[in-house]
Amino acid sequence: MIYTLTLNPAIDASAHISVPFARGGLNRINRIRRDPGGKGINVSKTLRNLGEPTCACFLSGGSAGRVLYDMLVEADIQCVCAEIGTGNTRTNLKITDSEGYTTEINEEGPAFDFQASAAIRKRLLEMATPQDVVVISGKIPPSAPTDIYRTIIREISHRGIRVILDASGEALENGLRSIPFAVKPNAAEVGISEDVESAVKVCSRILTVGTSIAMVSLGEKGAVYCDRSGVRMFAEGMKVDVKCTTGCGDAMTAGLAYGIANNLSPEDTVKIACACGTAAALTDGTQAPSAGSIAGFEDKIRIIRI
């Protein structure tokens, strides 16, 4: 089982308008779709499509949180939530206009609730076994302690459960100090430009501290994978007709988790992770790629040993 933990989930609303976006004016939506969102939940969406058992654990806020729960149940994604005392789960609105411009209006999300956070972590620890993998990803909620991931990773790893961290900024830095089993930041999140040499250096530095697998994604250029056994690979990015790159990293993290949970070889893990990321570039918004689309890319990923 691959558990995902999302402390600040969202409902992603993707709207289309048939005229140019009117700043300061009335914009009439001609179609809109709502998807469960938030990085951990996106990871569970891709895993669900891969047929991999997954459970999305999240903090739920008010009526919007209940809607999110229902959306996940409808999408056939197993989930567990803890209700926060006050506030609503956020909605992130993306408006794409007739000229192809997308305007994003994102809520920050409700204030952090310590009790609910403790409750969801307790549930997670009751359910997960050392064979399982836990993916922790996304921004931490406003007002949460910046070392919250560090605390959570420590308590999960203590039980012998492997943690994959996909985060940025202070949450990533702090999380790394608790030595997650694997990490999947993008280039900007580790402060480098999208080049292989810098990515290898960063991966080596991360592995020195004790993490077993470091994968740094480089957008359309591909990704670098290094592990503690000395395997180093560069997977070239593929030229595809990109629809939307939001969520590519989440899909890649899902593929990485899939490889780890199923004890795939490093090469097969990289292949499926990159296939998931590539396939996600072909979907709208944060919709997860289909198993068929992922399988179609898997054997086409070119891997260079470095």
Ligand X SMILES: Nc1ncnc2c1ncn2[C@@H]1O[C@H](COP(=O)(O)OP(=O)(O)OP(=O)(O)O)[C@@H](O)[C@H]1O
Q: Which residues sit at the interface with ligand X, rule CB under 6 A?
A: 186, 217-220, 222-223, 237-238, 240, 242, 245-250, 252, 274, 277-278, 281
DSSP secondary structure string for all residues of 205-250:
HHHHHT-SEEEEE-GGGEEEEEETTS-EEEEEP-----S--TTHHH
CB 43 within 8 A of CB 260: no
Measured from the CB atom, the residue of 61 and 249 that comes closer to ligand X is 249
How near is the Cβ of 218 to ligand X at its closest, in Å?
Answer: 6
Measured from the CB atom, the residue of 11 and 167 that comes closer to Mg ion is 167
Measured from the CB atom, the residue of 193 and 245 that comes closer to ligand X is 245
- Nearest residue to 213 via CA among 169, 253, 171, 159: 253
What is the C-alpha to C-alpha distance for residues 287 and 71, in angstroms, rounded to an integer?
Answer: 13
Dig out the tokens for 100 from the structure. 């192809």
Measured from the CB atom, the residue of 110 and 138 that comes closer to ligand X is 138
Residue whose C-beta lies closest to Mg ion = 249
Q: 61 touches which of ligand X, Mg ion, none (CB within 5 to 8 A by kind)?
A: none
In this structure, which amino acid lies at residue 180?
P
**Residues near Mg ion (CB under 5 A):** 186, 249
Dig out the tokens for 162 from the structure. 């492997």
Cα-Cα-Cα-Cα dihedral sign, residues 186, 189, 193, 196: negative
What angle, 0 to 180 degrees and rounded to 10, lies between the N-to-C axes of helices 291-298 and 266-280?
Answer: 130
CB 291 within 8 A of CB 51: yes
Beta bridge partners of 54: 2
Measured from the CB atom, the residue of 47 and 281 that comes closer to ligand X is 281
How near is the Cβ of 190 to Mg ion at its closest, in Å?
Answer: 11
How near is the Cβ of 247 to Mg ion at its closest, in Å?
Answer: 9
What is the C-alpha to C-alpha distance for residues 177 and 171, in angstroms, rounded to an integer?
Answer: 10
- Nearest residue to 58 via CA among 90, 93, 105: 90
Q: 245 touches which of ligand X, Mg ion, none (CB within 5 to 8 A by kind)?
A: ligand X
How near is the Cβ of 68 to ligand X at its closest, in Å?
Answer: 19
How near is the Cβ of 41 to Mg ion at its closest, in Å?
Answer: 14
How near is the Cβ of 112 to Mg ion at its closest, in Å?
Answer: 21
Residue whose C-beta lies closest to ligand X = 249
How near is the Cβ of 240 to ligand X at its closest, in Å?
Answer: 5
Measured from the CB atom, the residue of 80 and 260 that comes closer to ligand X is 260
- Looking up tokens 């996940």 gives 72
Measured from the CB atom, the residue of 30 and 245 that comes closer to ligand X is 245
What is the C-alpha to C-alpha distance for residues 281 and 153, in angstroms, rounded to an integer?
Answer: 30
Q: 238 touches which of Mg ion, ligand X, none (CB within 5 to 8 A by kind)?
A: ligand X
